Structure 1
Amino acid sequence: MSDYQPISEHLDDVSGAREDGHRKMDWARQHMPILADLREEFRDEQPLAGERVGMAMHVEAKTACLVELLAEGGAEVAVTGCNPLSTHDDVSAALDEHERITSYAKRGVDDEEYYAAIDAVIEFDPTVTVDDGADLIFRIHQEYPDLIETIVGGCEETTTGVHRLRAMDDDDALEYPVFAVNDTPMKRLFDNVHGTGESSLANIAMTTNLSWAGKTLVVAGYGDCGRGVAKKAAGQNADVIVTEVEPRRALEAHMEGYEVMPMAEAAEKGDVFLTTTGNRDIITREHFEKMDDGVLLANAGHFDVEVNLDDLSDLAVDTYEARDGVQTYELEDGRRLNVLAEGRLVNLASPIALGHPVEVMDQSFGVQAVGVRELVENGDEYGAGVHDLPDDLDREIAEIKLAADGVEFDDLTDEQADYMNSWQHGT
């Protein structure tokens, strides 16, 4: 049994932290019309009454609004962090004050504390899981398999987590249904492209106090996140190089005007390197050996495995903190390579990071909320494995967002709908 205590037991000034956390959450709520709309429905209809939701997420103000929404919908919620450096302790403390929420999330934990907090959430006996990176789901399957029988399903937020879950599914190791929230258009096309693109570049600039104009940025991976980073960086007058392993994505980047080359070549040209692949060992010793003095190394993938810091440590003769959130590795020849946020998610783990823009996360967390609602209401219709979220739920979130922004759009006429759904119309 885990004896890990909620965040309130770890803080010296709990009341002050709660006040700061509530202030951050109040600001986020003002800019999250989708969650505001769903909050009215959830409060009135109590779709989650009697459920216990276990969550492993980046616990900051925007996430807190989702956690609060689930509790307002009738659920008992236990939440912890999904990254050791992304929790805002004041927000975690504010959540923990809610009568139906227990927050174990705490910033700066080591591996032992990180998993002790996850175990505490699991021992809450969740009937629904909400994950960002799949650590919670994996831990349940590995250490608490007896609980699987009472879990109706889960939602997974991020690309890396969905990759892990699909691998589990392929091995017949995933034993309850999970919605791949990351793969819905309302998440993938906005959170991954605009959210990752804007927040990663903004946090690198704020952490370093350096400009993008005139820099050469090497973007590793041209999926949705890499595409967003490249587009936003080009818009700030950076030169962009893309590295890829998938030929069609490499061709797409080439056709969109970016230089495409292997990392071994890009290592000699880049001023800033940003990994977005979800895979390990994207930048290693052979690349470090070719880099110029002063380069910046950052990661926007979920886990801290894309920039191989063991290789870099082996090359370094000295390491020191050059700025808050910037660790400098000095090599024998005097070159200095600078790692941001310990190689973790640069848009969430650097000391001043605030994550994706509020409006973007309103969409993603709206999708999470209706996903949880669907599992509670219709979970028996889904077998064990990874599932796409029903398209009508994704459209529901888009319609709420358009209405909130005052944007009207057309509907198909009956004749148009018939034409599109018929195979009998020819030339």
Structure 2
Amino acid sequence: MVDYPAISEQLDDIESAREDGHRKIDWAREHMPILTALQAEFDAEKPFEGQRIGMAMHVEAKTAVLVETLAEAGADVAVTGCNPLSTHGDVSAALDEHPKITSYAKRGVDDEEYYEAIEAVIAHEPTVTVDDGMDLVAAIHEDYPELIDSIIGGCEETTTGVHRLRAMDDDGALEYPVFAVNDTPMKRLFDNVHGTGESSLANIAMTTNLSWAGKDVVVAGYGYCGKGVAKKAAGQNANVIVTEVEPRRALEAHMEGYDVMPMDEAAAVGDVFLTTTGNRDVITADHFERMNDGVLLANAGHFDIEINLDELAEMAVDEREAREGVREYELQDGRRLNVLAEGRLVNLASPIALGHPVEVMDQSFGVQAVCVRELVENGASDSSSEEGDQYEAGVHEVPDDLDREIAEIKLDAEGVAYDDLSDEQEEYMGSWQHGT
């Protein structure tokens, strides 16, 4: 493995960076009652004592609260970024000051440095992995399979990562259990819909200083993230056009009142294009040829492959930085197409990106924390063990009681009361013998 330095060894003004990072983390923690409650529980019981947790996440203030929560539970944590442009260096430096945390996350690294930092995390020989995009899991399986027997399990945060993990599982290549955190109601209904919708539109508006009102906004993909983007854009008086490849989702978007059409048609009318598919080549040269002058192109999926920037660069006769975070490509006929955040996650990789709202990530990271607890308590299956509640290798749904636990903590923190079923109602719902 490579000898890659922690962030504290890479920054010049480390003390100033740490001070700024701690201030950001403190602000986030004040608005994260779920992780605050879990940290109090974990700090008293130290349930992760002796565990080594390897993480590849978007390293910013909200993630830092999760990292510190795991460390306060007794774990030794090594963390790096899962996107070269989403790291906040000051937050990374603040994390690295913690005696049980080593942070390798640095903003703006190239591909080589990115994977060197992944390897540096793996060098800690994690017993639990926490991933956003599955790069950490993939690297362990491909390059360090000798570590797999000592890993009790992992957690995956995002849609793209879960897709990759399920494909890996279908091929019989996933050799330890991983919870699909992305697929829980507490993640999908809030993080994907409200988090992606609000943060993507907010960052585009801040980066460009342009309004949404009256614009034709093309949303590629109508999964949970696409629904959130479409809903929030419509709420700011944009005209929303949805492109889809799945007929039921296309019909759902149509029934919600949005225009639905193929990207070939949408390319000629859109002012703003926002991809949310997790797939590659959603917008390509054929579409660039049809686009109007001045369009904005942004990605809210995962990797920087949804907008084919290689084809756009080949078509361009000139490029320039039109505005910080906005790359302008001038075509032969004089049309200018503007790419935000280098085609990476616009809500995390633009120059002033802050990611999802704090309250939203508190819910998602709360699920991550209790899933780590579940793995530590009932981890990977051991052939020598007689216990029957352990997890086999593969992708696992998050147990519903864990997801409900996070909802209950949040409702309690918000002072929201809700009903319980009576004994008679419980009995009725569980019986097939009761008729009308």
1:404 aligns with 2:413: yes
Amino acid corresponding to residue 419 of structure 2 in structure 1: D
How do 1:20-419 and structure 2 match up within 5 A? Answer: 20-379=20-379, 380=381, 381-419=390-428
Following superposition, the deviation at residue 347 of structure 1 comes to 0.1
User: What do residues 312-348 of structure 1 show as CA deviations (whole Å, max 9, x unaligned)?
Assistant: 0011000010011000000010000000000000000
Unaligned runs of 5+ in 1: none
User: What do residues 99-119 of structure 1 show as CA deviations (whole Å, max 9, x unaligned)?
Assistant: 000000000000000000000
Amino acid corresponding to residue 152 of structure 2 in structure 1: V
1:422 aligns with 2:431: yes
Tell me which stretches of 4 or more aligned residues in structure 1 moved more than 6 Å: none
Distance 2:2 2:66 in 1: 25
Following superposition, the deviation at residue 426 of structure 1 comes to 1.4
User: What do residues 152-211 of structure 1 show as CA deviations (whole Å, max 9, x unaligned)?
Assistant: 000000000000000000000000000000000000100000000000000000000000
Amino acid corresponding to residue 60 of structure 1 in structure 2: E
Amino acid corresponding to residue 153 of structure 2 in structure 1: G
Following superposition, the deviation at residue 396 of structure 1 comes to 0.1
Amino acid corresponding to residue 60 of structure 2 in structure 1: E
How do 1:9-24 and structure 2 match up within 5 A? Answer: 9-24=9-24
Unaligned runs of 5+ in 2: 382-389
Distance 2:132 2:156 in 1: 6
Following superposition, the deviation at residue 234 of structure 1 comes to 0.2
User: What do residues 286-307 of structure 1 show as CA deviations (whole Å, max 9, x unaligned)?
Assistant: 0000000000000001100000
Q: Alignment partner of 2:378: what SS? A: helix
Amino acid corresponding to residue 174 of structure 2 in structure 1: L
Q: Alignment partner of 1:126: what SS? A: coil
User: What do residues 129-166 of structure 1 show as CA deviations (whole Å, max 9, x unaligned)?
Assistant: 00000000000000000000000000000000000000
User: What do residues 50-73 of structure 1 show as CA deviations (whole Å, max 9, x unaligned)?
Assistant: 100000000000000000000000
Following superposition, the deviation at residue 2 of structure 1 comes to 1.2
Q: Alignment partner of 1:382: what SS? A: coil
Distance 2:252 2:259 in 1: 11
Match of 2:387 in 1: none
Give the alignment's TM-score, normalised by structure 1: 1.00
Give the alignment's TM-score, normalised by structure 2: 0.98
Following superposition, the deviation at residue 350 of structure 1 comes to 0.3
Distance 2:184 2:45 in 1: 25
Distance 2:71 2:433 in 1: 50
Distance 1:82 1:302 in 2: 10
Q: Alignment partner of 1:329: what SS? A: strand
Distance 2:419 2:49 in 1: 37
Following superposition, the deviation at residue 356 of structure 1 comes to 0.1
Q: Percent sequence identity over matched residues?
A: 81
Distance 1:170 1:179 in 2: 15
Distance 1:183 1:287 in 2: 32
Amino acid corresponding to residue 61 of structure 1 in structure 2: A
Q: Alignment partner of 1:196: what SS? A: helix
Following superposition, the deviation at residue 246 of structure 1 comes to 0.2
Deviates more, 1:374-383 or 1:300-309: 374-383
Distance 2:329 2:120 in 1: 37
Amino acid corresponding to residue 369 of structure 1 in structure 2: A
Distance 1:188 1:202 in 2: 20
Amino acid corresponding to residue 135 of structure 2 in structure 1: D
Amino acid corresponding to residue 298 of structure 2 in structure 1: A
Q: How many residues align?
A: 427
Q: Alignment partner of 1:278: what SS? A: coil
Distance 2:77 2:370 in 1: 16
Distance 1:378 1:357 in 2: 32
Distance 1:81 1:102 in 2: 12
Distance 1:105 1:271 in 2: 35
